[in-house]
Chain A
Amino acid sequence: MTQAQYQNGPDSNGLFGQFGGRYVAETLMPLILDLSREYEAAKHDPAFAAELAYFQRDYVGRPSPLYFAQRLTEHCGGAKIYLKREELNHTGAHKINNCIGQILLARRMGKQRIIAETGAGMHGVATATVAARFGLQCVIYMGSTDIERQQANVFRMKLLGAEVIPVTAGTGTLKDAMNEALRDWVTNVQSTFYLIGTVAGPHPYPAMVRDFQAVIGKETREQLQAAEGRLPDSLVACIGGGSNAMGLFHPFLNDESVEIIGVEAAGHGIDTGKHAASLNGGRPGVLHGNRTFLLQDEDGQIIDAHSISAGLDYPGIGPEHAWLHDIGRVQYTSVTDHEALAAFHQCCRLEGIIPALESAHALAEVFKRAPTLPGDHLMVVNLSGRGDKDMQTVMHHLDLAKQETH
């Protein structure tokens, strides 16, 4: 092969290599096939593109800046570090990029009711936001553990008019919320649009969410071209389901000079078993509509993920990431809760930016990697969300740290 072909997936069955597919109950199949057709039509409709571009610009606030992080760069003493400022988007994270796209599709399909799952609450807030904007009924499923640690976001969703339904099954985190959202969808399939927040689930969701998030990478490409006159040397992003990472990575996949690094959440450490690193600590299986890498025991039962960051607390990963891992195009590494917290504090003090704990995982990788690289190495990090939602969690950990030193 002379020209790399990493951007062509998935095939018509929604497969990226052996990953992806449509593993769902029959009740949902006709609707999922319908969604595939509608999305294909919308993708080729200039009116849809124009409407999407309008809302991206005037409602979300795109393009988001590509910011040269001078102090971070000086501190690391190596690679030249740029931050893609997705945390400056309306609602404070990259999630809104996908929500705007899907809500326009839902409207096109005549759906009156929107449901979504949420972990940290950022996708829930973004969904509640666009549902409010278009006057649609909105129901958000959220694990009870996550509700506890993300109360501010729960309140935001309610302010925006969404109903937030706590899910107590399992460990009350993102996986359980997704099960419950799927149950709702199966029950209300004709009236309801399921607005999935990440590049996972049955086809066409992984490809569709990627396409809506790819604006991140497309802008980055143009912005870095303007600033430096060339492509980046490396890209770094955190991965739960993997939508912010896929959005940044996808437009660069065929540029083989660009090193691409995805950062999973290692929680307490991969060897402790308390982590959320599906690629580094899991194996292939089938859950939530797709074949991908999963945290599972020897009997194929799903193991609960652990991460300090609710947004990464998921035992699976988008199937395109599983494929990119399998073929070796993207390198997937992991950082622990502790490393992410340290990076969180460094980013606050060095750049005056409070990052989401999710994004702090990507920053932790930057702190490891950048110092070893030359000054002309251009590194772009996706600052996927802001950290306001994480104040409670960070305060709790500061208290714990204080107690340990006394």
Chain B
Amino acid sequence: MSRLHTRFNELKAHNRAALVTFVTSGDPDYDTSLAILKGLPDAGADVIELGMPFTDPMADGPAIQLANIRALAAKQTLAKTLQMVRDFRVGNATTPLVLMGYYNPIHSYGVERFIAEASEAGVDGLIVVDLPPEHNGELCDPAQAAGLDFIRLTTPTTDDNRLPTVLTGSSGFVYYVSVAGVTGAGAATAEHVSDALARLRRHTDLPISVGFGIRTPEQAAAIARLAEGVVVGSALVDQIAKANHPGEAVEGVLGLCRQLAEGVRKARVSAG
């Protein structure tokens, strides 16, 4: 049973949503990034998304673009990202970890080699932004055959005709991108999210995590009342951008993570 499956089942039993946190690996440097990663579970992250840096993050807004630039300037590579997962797993066997990024670095690394090493390192799933289901044969199918979940993004433009195509082969959870736009852009209304989730649930039994534009504990709580997961990325990454030294970056990210986790944990209690 995959860590993602186990985690979402546990949380369902506790009637609360997962806090899914995104940071870019190697941002601002390997050691600081690893310290953040190791601290996230205790700060309340239920699922971790770890970005694989790329020079051309076409679907990302300014915050995550800058995170990519910082990580690459600090010489982060895909091999080092996999090493970071191994280092993380030394002290953590239960928190699901999903690698998120763009296809070219994986393509360059070699799909077979990447899948083998990611599985061995303790990666649970993959999100590859620029690999739609039309290209499932390239990475999604072999990754799932090797036991890695492949998490699909669905968006406001993914209509009912297309949803079955997108959801075919999805596993772990479904990531609902709540606004058409780049990461860090404005947030969707609770009403929009509620309608979208109802539509998605007609097509899938997988847990659904909602992301894009969620920055505060209040926003996280609002989404946590509706969805199985709440994804926060740019707001956490901004903490690294504004830190004056590595210790401040670690504390900034983990501090915000604690607040978000509190919001998520109280959400359904206060609502009910």
A and B form one complex: yes
Q: Is the CB of B132 within 8 A of A285?
A: no
Please tell me if B189 contacts chain A, counting CB pairs below 8 Å: no
Q: Which residues of B contact A404 (CB under 8 A)?
A: none
User: A30: which of B77, B109, B157, B185 is its contact (CB, 8 Å)?
Assistant: B157
Q: Is the CB of A300 within 8 A of B104?
A: yes
Which residue numbers of B lie inside 8 Å of A, CB to CB? Answer: 53-61, 65, 72, 77-79, 102-109, 129-132, 134-135, 152-159, 162, 166, 177, 180-182, 185
Complex alpha-carbon distance, A289 and B155, angstroms: 18
The residue on A at minimum CB distance from B106 is: A300
Q: Is the CB of B107 within 8 A of A186?
A: no
Q: Is the CB of A27 within 8 A of B177?
A: yes
Chain A interface: which size bin? 35 or more
Q: Is the CB of B153 within 8 A of A301?
A: no
User: A189: which of B105, B129, B131, B180 is its contact (CB, 8 Å)?
Assistant: B180
- In the complex, identify which listed stretch (A1-9, A85-93, A291-299, A358-366) lies at the interface while the others stay far away: A291-299
Residue pairs across A and B with Cβ atoms less than 8 A apart, 12 shown, are A22-B134, A22-B135, A25-B153, A26-B155, A27-B59, A31-B157, A179-B58, A285-B104, A285-B107, A285-B108, A299-B78, A299-B109
Q: Is the CB of A183 within 8 A of B58?
A: yes
Q: Which residues of A contact B61 (CB under 8 A)?
A: 183
The residue on B at minimum CB distance from A301 is: B55
Complex alpha-carbon distance, A187 and B61, angstroms: 10
Complex alpha-carbon distance, A29 and B129, angstroms: 12
Please tell me if A258 contacts chain B, counting CB pairs below 8 Å: no
8 Å CB interface, A150-199 against B: 169-170, 175, 179, 182-183, 186-190
Please tell me if A21 contacts chain B, counting CB pairs below 8 Å: yes
The residue on B at minimum CB distance from A180 is: B58
Secondary structure dominating the interface of B:
loop
Q: Is the CB of A26 within 8 A of B106?
A: no
Given contact pairs A24-B132, A27-B181, A182-B59, enumerate 13 new A-B contacts (beta carbons under 8 Å): A22-B132, A25-B155, A27-B155, A28-B157, A179-B58, A187-B180, A285-B104, A285-B108, A286-B102, A288-B58, A299-B79, A300-B109, A301-B105
Q: Which residues of A contact B104 (CB under 8 A)?
A: 285-287, 294, 296, 300, 302
Top 4 nearest A-B pairs (CB, nearest first) are: A300-B108, A300-B105, A187-B181, A27-B155
Please tell me if A13 contacts chain B, counting CB pairs below 8 Å: yes
Most buried by B among A30, A31, A186, A189: A186
Please tell me if A48 contacts chain B, counting CB pairs below 8 Å: no
Q: Is the CB of A299 within 8 A of B157?
A: no
Q: Is the CB of A23 within 8 A of B132?
A: yes
Nearest Cβ on chain A to B113's Cβ, whole angstroms: 12
Complex alpha-carbon distance, A27 and B152, angstroms: 12
Complex alpha-carbon distance, A302 and B132, angstroms: 21
Q: Is the CB of A183 within 8 A of B182?
A: yes
Q: Which residues of A contact B55 (CB under 8 A)?
A: 170, 301-302
User: A300: which of B57, B107, B134 is its contact (CB, 8 Å)?
Assistant: B107
